[in-house]
Structure 1
Amino acid sequence: MDDIHVMLDHLDQLKLPAFLATIVQVEGSAYKKESACMLIQGDGESFGFISAGCLEQDLIERVKRGEGSQIVVYDMSTEDDLSFGASAGCNGIIHVLLERIDSLYLTHLQRVKSLVQSGKEVLLVKDLLLNSYLCIPEGEEPFGRASHFSSLEIKNVIHQASSSGKTSKRVYTHEGNPVFTQQINPKPRLLLFGAGEDAFPLVSLAADTGFNVIVSDWRQSLCTVERFPKAIRVLHGFPHEVVQTLDVRSNDFIILMTHHFEHDQTLLKLLRGRRLAFLGVLGSAKRTARLLEQQEVPTDVRSPVGLSIGAQGATEIAVSIVAELIQVVRSNPSTVNKELVG
């Protein structure tokens, strides 16, 4: 799961005073890159991590000492500045923005969370010199603590932030102030048809790696919140009923594992031809070709679903499937994420 979602997920239990630590620049190599973030409470409790253990304790101690908002620079290339991090791949220079979260900032972050959960993208803009921030939701008015940004300046920052496929980058205002921009995208959604025993590890692993999982099955006794606590929704109904009522989006990942020939066949007929990020079918390619009444499986259907790692059993198969989903997300993140709000 992206660090920003880990942070957003912990906002409701955050105790103030607290700080948000975000990597805003990396020179050389580091365990984690720009936009990695973590929350630190005044009592030292933290959520998330931004390194392999090289930086967290120092940042926690700074918060506990009562230090204010600042940019902390760690030169991991030397032998005297947290040099133990080099063995974990951290031998570059890492700039960490440490921001105090007060009640207003928390309110703004909670609004960002709500917007992202509703399927909207939010561009988070942080002025590194003036210790201010601006949240720019797609199609809505900006909000935050950066009143010095004019509408022209906002358009300029948005243009610079979107000029590459990177979700985070450093840009500059017309006055030359360094600004860190971070694109916050909704979690990709996985629609899973089939609530059998082999769905357990797949739902759990997909949820843990950053997917919003929806489970559907026609058997009400199997399709329950109790059986799939990590799913955001469970939908009871036959394939034609569910697909008609479900808002299938062009960035959705869909996997068919009903183990029921007619239901899988119905789902394929209903779903093929739509723009999807991924459509996979559990089972052999020969079975899937029969489902499609074709000689071979077409390129828009992945079967057998999952990377070829010699997986055996439900857990290993779940690992292979989630690995393939992650591969799709990482191979073209701008397309997948943009379609989330298309």
Structure 2
Amino acid sequence: MHKELQDILGLIREQGGPLALATLLRVEGSSYRRPGSRLLTDGEQVLRGSLSGGCLEGEVLGRAREVLADGLPRRLRYDLRGEADLVWGSGSGCEGVLDILVERLDQAAPPGWLAWVEEVLRDRRPLRLATSLKEGFPRRRLREGDAPDAEEILEVIPPPVSLWVLGASDDSRPLVRLAKGLGWSVGLLDHRPAFARAERFPEADRILSGHPAQRVPGLGLDGRSAVVLMTHNYQKDLEALRLLGDAGAGYLGLMGSRARSAKLVAELAAEGLHFGDRLHSPVGLDLGAEDPETIALAVLAEIQASFQGRAGGSLRASRAPVSAP
């Protein structure tokens, strides 16, 4: 969702004329998209985003034209349960009741809440955005706690994932590229200045050179940070793991064989440092990955599952909801 938000905010800045923004406010039952999903349109086409599996976009586009014409926001409700889903689309399987807000955005006077969202994406701070429709026009404010007022709808936007890749070999390049494509904040650290260069990793937000002991303490790791060690250097991985044990990263992955990982863990345990289940090694989901690109896919999939509290198995075998109401 962060990548979608980033793209929508960029388009709002770039477009010259008025735009309409549709936001999925609330879902009763199941839905293809989660609350907080957005769709941006100029009235002629969808510029970015979606609200359903395709069953509602055409209808919302028509209502967006009305909003662009008179400037008045619309709150729309669509009941897609049972046979109604076949009426709106082609049986997309939404099976829920969706509340959608469509509002006009004018670049000359953009609403202040857009700046709050930009700050979240830039500074990696969580945002609790409360929206009230009590008087017809949406009114938004920041909330401190998790409980909005009775007439408000609360949207919680977490900080984007911050991924630090330790190791700037060629197999790190698809990992950096794919992570940035997800809208994550991506940093790269290598003890070899000749490898840690912007021209080799143009997608990275930050590139640092230096030994782990010099750099790891200043990375600013938190619960939404992931660190993947792929230095292919035993001593550098050992040095980094000594520092990462208590650094607060929400995910810690180590590239390499089970035997290599076991040796590292045993050596650190002898020093009194124990990781338990916190260290993911071999890193990544079991996708049968063999090349750098599919390995990167497996690693990012495991990080995503970890931060979402999922096991990372097949949805067919899971009883967890596909999209939380």
- Does the TM-score normalized on the shorter chain lie above 0.5? yes
Equivalence for 1:101: 105
Q: 1:136 aligns with which of 127, 139, 142?
A: 142
Question: What is the DSSP-based 3-state SS (H/G/I as helix, E as strand, rest coil) of the residue aligned with 1:87?
Answer: coil
8 Å CA contact 2:159, 2:224 repeated in 1:
no
Which stretch shifts more, 118-127 or 259-268? 118-127
| Contact 1:243 1:270 (8 Å CA) reproduced | yes
Deviation string for 1:43-101 (max 9, x for gaps)? 53521111122222222233334253111222334767872535221233322111222
Matched, 1:118 2:119: no
Residue 255 of structure 1: aligned partner: 228
Tell me the residue number matched to 2:166: 193
Query: Are positions 1:208 and 2:181 aligned together?
Result: yes
Identity %: 30
Are the structure 2 counterparts of residues 41 and 90 from structure 1 closer, same or farther at C-alpha, using a change threshold of 3 Å? same
Q: Is the 8 A contact 2:130 2:143 kept in 1?
A: no
1:95 is paired with a residue whose SS is: strand
More displaced 10-residue stretch of structure 1: 107-116 or 300-309: 107-116
Q: Among residues 286, 291, 294, which one is paired with 2:259 in the alignment? A: 286
Cα deviation, residue 226, structure 1: 2.7
Distance 1:271 1:132, change over 3 A: same
What's the C-alpha RMSD, in Å, of the aligned pairs? 2.7
1:59–1:263 distance in 2 versus 1, CA, 3 Å: same
Residues 30 and 91 of structure 1 are in contact (CA less than 8 Å); yes or no, is this contact kept in structure 2? yes
Structure 1 equivalent of residue 51 of structure 2 = 50
Matches within 5 A, 1:190-339: 190-292=163-265, 293=267, 298-331=276-309
- Preserved CA contact (<8 Å) 1:11 1:110: no
Which letter does structure 2 place at the counterpart of 1:124?
Answer: L
Secondary structure in 1 matching 2:61: helix
Q: Are 1:124 and 1:133, in contact at CA under 8 Å, matched by a contact in 2?
A: no
Residue 147 of structure 2 corresponds to residue 160 of structure 1: yes
Distance 1:272 1:94 in 2: 44
- Cα distance in 1 for partners of 2:179, 2:42 equals 29
Could you say which residue in structure 2 is the equivalent of 1:168? none
Q: 2: distance between equivalents of 1:213 and 1:20?
A: 28
Whole-Å Cα distance in 1 between the matches of residues 94 and 223 of structure 2? 38
Aligned equivalents of 2:117, 2:275: Cα separation in 1: 41
The 3 A distance-change label for structure 1 pair 220 and 43 is farther
What is the TM-score with the length of structure 1 in the denominator?
0.78
Residue 322 of structure 2: aligned partner: none
Deviation at residue 42 of structure 1 after TM alignment: 4.4
Q: Could you say which residue in structure 2 is the equivalent of 1:91? A: 95
How many angstroms apart in 2 are the aligned matches of 1:82 and 1:198?
46
Flag the 1:80–1:256 CA change in 2: closer, same or farther, 3 A. Answer: closer
Q: Which runs of 4+ in 1 moved over 6 A?
A: none
After TM superposition, the structure 1 stretch with the greater mean CA deviation from structure 2, 276-285 or 306-315, is: 306-315
Distance 1:224 1:248, change over 3 A: same
Ranges in structure 1 where 5+ consecutive residues have no aligned partner: 139-157, 162-170, 173-177, 333-342
Query: Matched residues in 2 for 1:122 and 1:22: separation?
Result: 16
Q: Is the 8 A contact 1:8 1:110 kept in 2?
A: no
AA at the equivalent of 1:299 = D
- For 1:122 and 1:298, the matched residues in 2 are separated by 32
Check if 1:36 corresponds to 2:42. no
* Alpha-carbon distance, 1:308 to partner: 2.1
| TM-score (structure 2 length as normaliser) | 0.81
- 2:303 and 2:187 map into 1 onto residues whose CA distance is 15
Aligned length: 299
- Return the structure number with greater relative CO, CA threshold 8 A, min gap 6: 2
Shift of 1:282: 0.3
Take 1:74 and 1:44, find their aligned partners in 2: how far apart are those partners? Answer: 21
3-state secondary structure, aligned to 1:27? strand
1:5 positional shift:
4.4
